[in-house]
Each structure stands twice: as structure tokens, then as C-alpha cells.
A and B are shown apart, each in its own frame.
Chain A
Amino acid sequence: MNYIEIALLGLLLICGIAACVSRNLMVSLIIFMAYSVIMSIIWALLRAPDLAVTEAAVGAGISSVLMFVTLKKLRDINHTFGEDQSGEEKLS
């Protein structure tokens, strides 16, 4: 195992822990995208180029976009709820 693979695996570990630990969901999603990109490079190094292409397209692209949309929807729900219940002053 050469140094590049060890460095990539270390980065993968850091990304995995950081995605779990970060308090902001948006930040955690972006770290998760980075995790997918590193994972796809590792697939390519393990001589699985099919998986690498799929991981880059689906893991880093589509699933992150869908999770961003879900996050936006959740924030929308919270926002309208706060307005309806006139709890804005208490929150800010």
C-alpha cells in the first residue's frame, strides 16, 4: 500500500468523523460530498473504474442534491411554523 492510498484513507476517516460531529447539517452534507469524492478516487485506485464513475455521479452529485432539497424543505417547514405561531422573537 503506497502513501497516496494511506493519505486518502486517512482523509476518508477524517471526513466520516467530521460529517457526524458537525452541528450544522449543511456543513455535514458538504463534508459528505467530499467523502464521496475521496471514495471514488479510492475505487479508481482499487481498479474498479465502474464503481468510481457511479460513486462520483450518484454519491457526490445526485444524492447530495436530493439531500440539499430535503434540507431546504425542512427549513421551510420550520420557518412557516415559526411565523404562524409568532415565536420569532423568542427564537432570535
Chain B
Amino acid sequence: MAKKSFRETLREWDEGNFDFTMKTAGIPLPENEDGKEKEGSEWSRTPHLRTAGSEIKAFSKLYPVFAGLLLFAVITFLLLVIVEMPPFNSPDTPANRSEVTWRYIRSGLSETGAVNIVAGVILDYRAFDTLGESHVLFAATVAVMILMLAKREEEEPEEELSILRNDLILQNTAKVLVPFLLMFGAYIILNGHLGPGGGFSGGAVLGGALILYSSAFHPGKLQKILNMKSYRIIVLLALSFYSGMKCYSFFSGANGLETIFGTGTPGAILSAGLILPLNIAVGLVVACTMYGFYAIFTRGRI
């Protein structure tokens, strides 16, 4: 085998013609001439040797011993931590002694107007964290798009997935379940400040419903509503709405100004100031992200 530059080797590995572990496993490497594999070389005829060969043989005996030792060490460490922990519901837990906890519990309702204290914390006191999380989701989708959207319109990998589309059980289940799932997702989002739930979980339920629909039926109908263009518009509007509203609320709150979003009567659906619109924005971003992941992974486009 001729000596190659690191870059060429890397490219071969990227194209799947070269496995770095082959060298250590002692299986002869394929002779690569002008970028193509020789016909009938032992390596190309037996692809199952690849998986067998990817185990590094020198360590195969010591591997279980070290894995066991590591596992034992981790389990011992975790058990020691558990021994040190205060018992459940005890008043001595660090969270109970913290000043912040009691502030949230005592004056959370009057300050944010949210009956659900968790919603008050994540979307009012700590709204900046949630903004960062939404942007992380957006950045993840962008990264997936950069990686998977490379091949454009001409390729249609619909054939492989069409087996799933004709499944009667899946279609009938989807027909029954999808409306209820959409309704339940909307309920979780809209009731985030009144009960358990909120933007993230409700958005995940909505995204799950969209995934179920698009995997059971032909995605053409869904694509009329939710395509690349509308995806961009929804995510852009939701994220910029969140950022703008939170800028306003932080500015007015920090300076003691009068806000146009009052806390309202606790328990009413239109209460808790900004929490309901922010929940809707987060829910839209999460639903679009989840569905976008699925669509890009299976079809290569939204």
C-alpha cells in the first residue's frame, strides 16, 4: 500500500472505503488504486469481517476487566453520594434552605400571576434561560439542515418509505389519534400557567402528532401547510417575539416601570402577563423543530 497523505486517507474514510481500526486488527487493507477498490479483494468480498475486525484485538481480553472495574467504581461512587443525601421531603435539603425557593413559593403568585409556580419560574424569573433553550433548538435544526439538506430536489427517496404508508393499522390509528393529540398539545401549551405543562411538553406533543400524521399518510398535504417557507416564518416570528417581549419586560421590570401586561386574576386563562404568549411561542418553536428533525432525517427536506 502506497503511502498517502493524511487528507487523502481522511477522504477515503469519509467515503466508507477505509476503516482506521483495520490496521490495528491485523486484517490486510485493500489496495486502493485510482480511488477504486479492486474487484474481488478479500476485504471487499466479506463486509462482515469489518465488524469483526473493528474490535481491537490486543485489548479484547483486558477490556471486560477494565469495564467491570470502571462500572464498579461508578456504582460505588453513586451509592456513596446517595448515602450522603438528605432524605426525601426533609426540611434540611439545600433547596429548602435556599432563600430563592421561599421567595418563589411565597410571592411567586402575586408577582407573576401564574398558578403553576414552575411556569412562573421558567418563563418569568428565569425567562432568559428558556430563551437560550429555544435558540439551542433552533441552532440544532440549523445544524441538521446544513448536514442533511445537501442533496436537493432531484433526489426522491420516497420509494423506501412508501412501504410504511400503505399500512392499514398505522393509518387508522393515526386517523383516530392525530386530532386528539393536536388538541391535547394545544391544551398543554395554553394551560401552562394554570397546571402542569407548558411550551416544551405541549410543543413536543404537537410535533409528535405531526410526525405520526406524516409517517402514516403521504406528506404532500402536510407540506402545503408546513413547508420550508412557513417553517422559517413561524420560527423567526416566534423567536423574535420572545426576544422582543422579554427585552421589554426585563427593561420595564428592572426599572420599575408600568407594564402593559398585567398579572390579571390568578386562575383565568388570560392571566399571568407574558407567560401565555411566551408559552405559545416556545411551543411553536419546539413543534416545528421536532417535526423538522423527523422530516429532514427521512426525506431530506421539510
Contact = CB atoms under 8 A, between A and B. Distances in A.
Interface of A: 49-50, 52-54, 56-58, 61-62, 65-66, 69-70, 72-73, 76, 81-82, 85-87, 90-91
B47 A53 contact: no
B208 A57 contact: yes
A57 B47 contact: no
Contacts of A50: 116, 118-119, 196-198, 201
Nearest to A90: B46
A91 B297 contact: no
Interface residues of B, number: 28
B46 A76 contact: no
Contacts of B207: 62
Given A49-B196, A53-B197, A54-B204, A87 B47 contact: yes
A65 B211 contact: yes
B42 to A, nearest CB: 11
A66 B293 contact: yes
Given A52-B196, A54-B200, A85-B47, 12 more contacts: A49-B195, A58-B200, A58-B204, A62-B290, A66-B293, A66-B294, A72-B298, A73-B297, A81-B16, A81-B47, A90-B45, A90-B47
B188 interface: yes
Given A62-B290, A65-B211, A82 B204 contact: no
Contacts of B34: none
Contacts of B293: 66
A57 B199 CA distance: 12
A9 to B, nearest CB: 13
Given A49-B196, A54-B201, A87-B45, A61 B208 contact: yes
Contacts of A87: 44-48
Contacts of B298: 69, 72
Contacts of A56: 201
A92 B26 CA distance: 25
A70 B45 contact: no
A24 to B, nearest CB: 15
26 contacts: A49-B195, A50-B118, A53-B188, A53-B197, A57-B201, A57-B204, A57-B205, A57-B208, A58-B204, A61-B208, A62-B208, A65-B211, A66-B297, A69-B294, A69-B297, A70-B297, A73-B297, A82-B47, A85-B45, A86-B45, A87-B46, A87-B47, A87-B48, A90-B46, A90-B48, A91-B48
A69 B119 CA distance: 32
A44 B188 CA distance: 16
B45 A53 contact: no
A69 to B, nearest CB: 5
Contacts of B119: 50
A19 to B, nearest CB: 15
Contacts of B195: 49
A77 to B, nearest CB: 8
Nearest to A59: B204
Kindly list the 4 A-B residue pairs having the minimum CB-CB distance in the complex, ordered from nearest.
A49-B196, A57-B204, A54-B201, A53-B201
A90 B160 CA distance: 24
Interface string B38-56: 0000001111100000000
Contacts of B196: 49-50, 52-53
Nearest to B207: A62
A86 B44 CA distance: 8
Given A52-B196, A69-B297, A73-B297, A58 B44 contact: no
Nearest to A56: B201
